[in-house]
C-alpha cells in the first residue's frame, strides 16, 4: 500500500523584548534631606515610564522579568540613605526595590519578578503596556547627594533568580535562534531545553543535545547567541535556562529570539 504524505506545516514565532531603561534620571545632582518617605506618586523624587513588549503568539509565555537599579551616592552626612522603587502605585504589592545604603559610591541591585515573586509587578510589566517607575529617597538625618539614578528591565535572568524566563508550548519539531545581552560586567550561561519528564530520549534536564547538535551556547562576554539546529522533537514545549552568573548584580536579557515550528 502506497502512503502519500502531505507537506509539513511550518511556522515561525519571533519575539524581541530587548532592554528597557530609564537612562540616568538625574541630570546633575540632587540633595536628599527628607527624613520620611514622601506620600503619593506625585511627590516621587524621580519617575519614568517603560514599556516591555509582550509576545504576539499566546504559545510563547514570559515567565520572568528582571530589573536592575543603579544609584550613585556622591556624598553623605546622613548615616543611612533609604530608597524605594514602585511600579504604577505607591503600595506594598507594587514595591520593586526596598533598599538602604550607608556609604558613598555606585550602588547596584537586581530583582526578579515572576508569577510567584512580586506577582503584582510581574503581571503589570509583562502585559505590553507602559508602566511608570517611581523613585523615593529619604535619610535618617543630615543629607545625601545623588548623581545617578537609573533602572533597567528585561525578559531574562540574573544571579539567584528563577531560571526560565520564557517558555514555548508546542508539540512537534522546534529549532530556534536568539541573541542575549547583559547589563553589567560579568558572564553567564544560557541554554535551551525541555524538562526531563518531557524528553523521550532521557537526556539531561534543560540541557539538550540531539543528533550531535548543541541546543545551548555558553556565554563568553557581554552577549551570547543561542541556536538549535537541526530541530528537536518536543512533547509539550521548550524553555530557556540561565545559570552561572559571575557578578551578582548583572542581568541578562533577551534581545530577540525566533522559533521555527514544524509539524506534519
Residue finishing a domain among 128, 154, 180: 154
pLDDT score recorded for residue 8 = 63
**pLDDT mean over 215-231:** 59
- In this model, does residue 189 exceed pLDDT 90? no
- Full residue range of the structural domain in which residue 99 is found: 20-54+64-154
Choice among 23-27, 86-90, 239-243 with the minimum mean pLDDT? 239-243
pLDDT > 70 in the chain, percent: 83
- In this model, does residue 193 exceed pLDDT 80? no
Q: How many domains does the chain have?
A: 2
Kindly state whether residues 133 and 254 are assigned to the same domain.
Answer: no
Kindly state whether residues 185 and 106 are assigned to the same domain.
Answer: no
- In this model, does residue 2 exceed pLDDT 90? no
Q: Establish if 150 belongs to a structural domain.
A: yes
C-alpha cell at 189: 550561561
- In this model, does residue 47 exceed pLDDT 50? yes
Q: Which residue has the higher pLDDT, 164 or 52?
A: 52
Residue finishing a domain among 127, 154, 181: 154
- The 10 Å CB-count burial string (b at 16+, else e) for 232-242 is bebeebbbbbb
Q: State phi, psi for 83 to the nearest 5 degrees.
A: -145, 140
Kindly state whether residues 150 and 176 are assigned to the same domain.
Answer: no
Kindly state whether residues 26 and 132 are assigned to the same domain.
Answer: yes
CA 245 distance to own-chain centroid: 13
Give the CATH number for residue 181.
2.60.120
- In this model, does residue 35 exceed pLDDT 90? yes
Kindly state whether residues 184 and 124 are assigned to the same domain.
Answer: no
Q: Give the whole-angstrom CA distance, residue 171 versus residue 230.
A: 16
Q: Establish if 130 belongs to a structural domain.
A: yes
pLDDT score recorded for residue 123 = 98
Kindly state whether residues 184 and 143 are assigned to the same domain.
Answer: no
Kindly state whether residues 33 and 102 are assigned to the same domain.
Answer: yes
Q: Establish if 4 belongs to a structural domain.
A: no
Residue finishing a domain among 154, 177, 200: 154
**pLDDT mean over 242-264:** 89
Choice among 109-118, 137-146, 166-175, 211-220 with the minimum mean pLDDT? 211-220
- Predicted model pTM: 0.88
Q: Establish if 3 belongs to a structural domain.
A: no
pLDDT score recorded for residue 4 = 36
Upstream peptide bond of 230 is cis (omega within 30 degrees of 0): yes
Amino acid at each position: 500500500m502506497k502512503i502519500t504524505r502531505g507537506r509539513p506545516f511550518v511556522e515561525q514565532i519571533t519575539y524581541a523584548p530587548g532592554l528597557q531603561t530609564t537612562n540616568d534620571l538625574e541630570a546633575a545632582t540632587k540633595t536628599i534631606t527628607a527624613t520620611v518617605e514622601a506620600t503619593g506618586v506625585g511627590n516621587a523624587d524621580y519617575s519614568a515610564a517603560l514599556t516591555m513588549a509582550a509576545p504576539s503568539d499566546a504559545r510563547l509565555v514570559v515567565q520572568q522579568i528582571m530589573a536592575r537599579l543603579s544609584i550613585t551616592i556622591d556624598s553623605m552626612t546622613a548615616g543611612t540613605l533609604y530608597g524605594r522603587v514602585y511600579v504604577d502605585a505607591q503600595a506594598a504589592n507594587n514595591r520593586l526595590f526596598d533598599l538602604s545604603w550607608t556609604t558613598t559610591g555606585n550602588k547596584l541591585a537586581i530583582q526578579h519578578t515572576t508569577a510567584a515573586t512580586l506577582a503584582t509587578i510581574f503581571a503589570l510589566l509583562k502585559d505590553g503596556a507602559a508602566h511608570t517607575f517611581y523613585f523615593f529617597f529619604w535619610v535618617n538625618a543630615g543629607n545625601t547627594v545623588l548623581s545617578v539614578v537609573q533602572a533597567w528591565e528585561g525578559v531574562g535572568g540574573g544571579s539567584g533568580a528563577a531560571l526560565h524566563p520564557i517558555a514555548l508550548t508546542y508539540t512537534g519539531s522546534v529549532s530556534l535562534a536568539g541573541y542575549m545581552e547583559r547589563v553589567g560586567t560579568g558572564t553567564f550561561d544560557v541554554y535551551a531545553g525541555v524538562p526531563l519528564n518531557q524528553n523521550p530520549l532521557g537526556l539531561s534536564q534543560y540541557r539538550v543535545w540531539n543528533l550531535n547538535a548543541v541546543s545551548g551556547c555558553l556565554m563568553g562576554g557581554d552577549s551570547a547567541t543561542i541556536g538549535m539546529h537541526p530541530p528537536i522533537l518536543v512533547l509539550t514545549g521548550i524553555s530557556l535556562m540561565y545559570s552561572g552568573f559571575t557578578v551578582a548584580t548583572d542581568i541578562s536579557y533577551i534581545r530577540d529570539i525566533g522559533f521555527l515550528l514544524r509539524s506534519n
